[in-house]
Structure 1
Amino acid sequence: MTKLSVLDLVPVSEGKTIADAFANARSLARHAEALGYTRFWMAEHHNMVGIASAATAVAIGNIAGHTKTIRVGAGGIMLPNHAPLVIAEQFGTLETLYPGRIDLGLGRAPGTDQRTMMALRRNMSPADTFPQDVVELQALLGPLQEGQKVQAVPGTDTNVPIWILGSSLYGAQLAALLGLPYAFASHFAPSALDDALYLYRDRFEPSERNRSSYAMAGVNVIVAETDEEARYLFSSLQMRFADMVRGARGFLKPPIDDIETYWTPAEKAQASAMLSCSFVGSPETVKRGLGAFIARTGVDELMVATAIYDHAARLKSYELLAGLGLQETP
């Protein structure tokens, strides 16, 4: 059995508002909690009109306040955009308000474009301080040390669980070295998945908090009553990735009958490669596909992203997935 969790990018659908997107996120979180999903994560993105989770810690607090038991967290916070102390204070506050329910996944990418990076006042130095920043953040969330002059208030000794996120071998090596759980972003960058999982497990160094490795993989899943209906719903995500290939950022579009009319052969090839870890179809089809994926990768948990234009169909997809018998309850 494999744990199932939810990744919600808080998509803003065409013709809808950001307020609608947040209402849908709350609805989905409560639905996932009732269905027994393990966690509900949100991710930091900036300057994207179709994604509303830029103020990630605030959005997480909103979800935690409208649920009772499901773990809530970041998948992830783009740490180079922030001082570790600020993140320690934010997530220490969340953990204090919602004890035992907060996760902190950390990414190394900026989550945006170069111009927006400058607007975020991000240091444009080529020096990579991500490993040092992770260690500093761990210390700020850990027990107060003798002689420590700077502490996170709240934050100190909250011991919020930290995850390393990545889509390359870099994050796998760092997670292994620090003895942290690892989440691979195969829902949009799957090419290095197998190599990263092997490297992570092979080099994992047990830590005080994690005696053994723990690997999660992001996947796109759309389940409907029939394969045809699911493929129709999937076209919204396919259009979003085709738009990414074109360098365009927009709202989540309504599905279309024939995706081939939307993209060129080159766009199709590139978008489909990024979406290769997608499982789309009837319950039987998706169960076969996910079962084979779990058997091949041996992941402990699946972080499921389901971008569907119609909110009711999105809720139904997560409901059908929960009923497949793949899930280990939290």
Structure 2
Amino acid sequence: MKTQIPYSFLDLAIIGQDKSTTATLQDVLKVAQKAEKVGFTRLWFAEHHNMPHIASSATAVLIGYVAGGTNTIRVGSGGIMLPNHASLVIAEQFGTLDALYPDRIDLGLGRAPGTDQATAMALRRNDMHAVNHFPQQIEELKRYFRGDDQAKVRAFPGEGAKVPMWILGSSTDSAYLAAELGLPYAFASHFAPEQIMQAANIYRKNFVASEHLDKPYFMPCVNAIVSDSLEESFRLATSFYQMFLGIIRNDRKPMQPPCDSMQGLWSEVEEYHVLQKTSLSFIGDKETVKQELQNFFTIVEPDEVMITTPIYHTDDRVKSIALFAEIMQSF
């Protein structure tokens, strides 16, 4: 097992019941400041649209807000859904962020819309074939960052910016692309655990060294809910399970407060599907989570691990990431 694995955080900016968007975003910064203090390497936000209980749709704006309220932690996108945007706009946005916060900005890129099909059409102005040009868009984005004084269209700010690019994915398609482009690869196993090993193996086997990276760099994202006791951890996790249950039922709600038990809230079939989609979740006290992580690291051999911690109360979430950092520092 690799030791001293860097650890990072994905914040989905989930709006809880009876909580405003303003309060949610203030809590995002509070969590980021704690993550920085306890040694997290980077903190990312995901682009989602038409979701009333997710506050990360203006991803670049949120990155700037959090980078401005922290000092050393890297802040970035996990990810920007590139087919939703003109590559020039993303180059300008992230070039501006890089100018404001040098050597602290990451640009994770995905091809999914991050929303439903109707909203995707609104974002992409009815060009639903944009997704087919994702690799070409990445190359276009690289050219804007690299700069060409003979080009008719150039990115200012953006040209010359040293913003690390990542490929994000939840399937083997993204693994092939990340390998071909020689870019670091982040895998969304926090909601799509089924193909993690296949994707990791494809990426490593097919990796081609590039100007960006000389060897594969694989970072899976998992769920982590840690507290002082097993009982309390499982109670906190009920908010997380209720959130996934709403996805399965297509009944989206704000994140719900934790409850004593999920019994009576889901059927046996629903329980099976929720636990299947969240199977890469580390829930428990420090000792339990450390042992489970050790097994996970031995099998997957990640270069870095990213966690998301969908806990209702901010103080509980802050405590959980602090305990997770203690676990990672103990390896």
Residue 139 of structure 1 corresponds to 143
Unmatched runs of 5 consecutive residues or more in structure 1: none
Q: 1:216 to 1:133 in 2, by over 3 A?
A: same
Q: CA deviation at 1:119?
A: 2.4
Residue 295 of structure 1 corresponds to 298
Equivalent residue pairs, number: 327
SS in 1 for 2:274: helix
Pairs within 5 Å for 1:208-223 = 208-223=211-226
CA deviations 1:62-101 (Å, max 9, x no partner) are 0000001000000000111111111111101100110000
Deviates more, 1:263-272 or 1:250-259: 263-272
Residue 60 of structure 1 corresponds to 63
Q: CA deviation at 1:159?
A: 2.5
Name the aligned partner's letter for residue 312 of structure 1.
Answer: D
Unmatched runs of 5 consecutive residues or more in structure 2: none
Stretches of 4+ aligned residues off by more than 4 angstroms: none
Identity of aligned residues (%): 48
1:8 and 1:40 in contact (8 A); partners too: yes
Q: CA deviation at 1:270?
A: 1.3
Match of 2:228 among 225, 240, 243: 225
* RMSD of equivalent CA atoms: 1.2
Q: CA deviation at 1:176?
A: 0.4
CA distance in structure 2 between the partners assigned to 1:138 and 1:190 by the alignment: 30
Residue 237 of structure 2 corresponds to 234
CA distance in structure 2 between the partners assigned to 1:126 and 1:40 by the alignment: 28
CA distance in structure 1 between the partners assigned to 2:298 and 2:260 by the alignment: 33
SS in 1 for 2:128: coil
SS in 2 for 1:46: coil
CA distance in structure 1 between the partners assigned to 2:28 and 2:191 by the alignment: 21
Match of 2:270 among 260, 267, 270: 267
TM-score, L = length of structure 2: 0.96
CA deviations 1:238-272 (Å, max 9, x no partner) are 01001100112221100111112211122111111
Matched, 1:72 2:78: no
Matched, 1:12 2:28: no
SS in 1 for 2:166: strand
Matched, 1:207 2:178: no
1:3 and 1:327 in contact (8 A); partners too: no
CA deviations 1:201-248 (Å, max 9, x no partner) are 000000012111100000000000001100000010101001100112
Q: CA deviation at 1:304?
A: 0.6
SS in 2 for 1:69: coil
1:2 and 1:327 in contact (8 A); partners too: no
CA distance in structure 1 between the partners assigned to 2:83 and 2:135 by the alignment: 10
Matched, 1:315 2:318: yes
Residue 25 of structure 1 corresponds to 28
2:5 and 2:305 in contact (8 A); partners too: yes
Matched, 1:246 2:249: yes
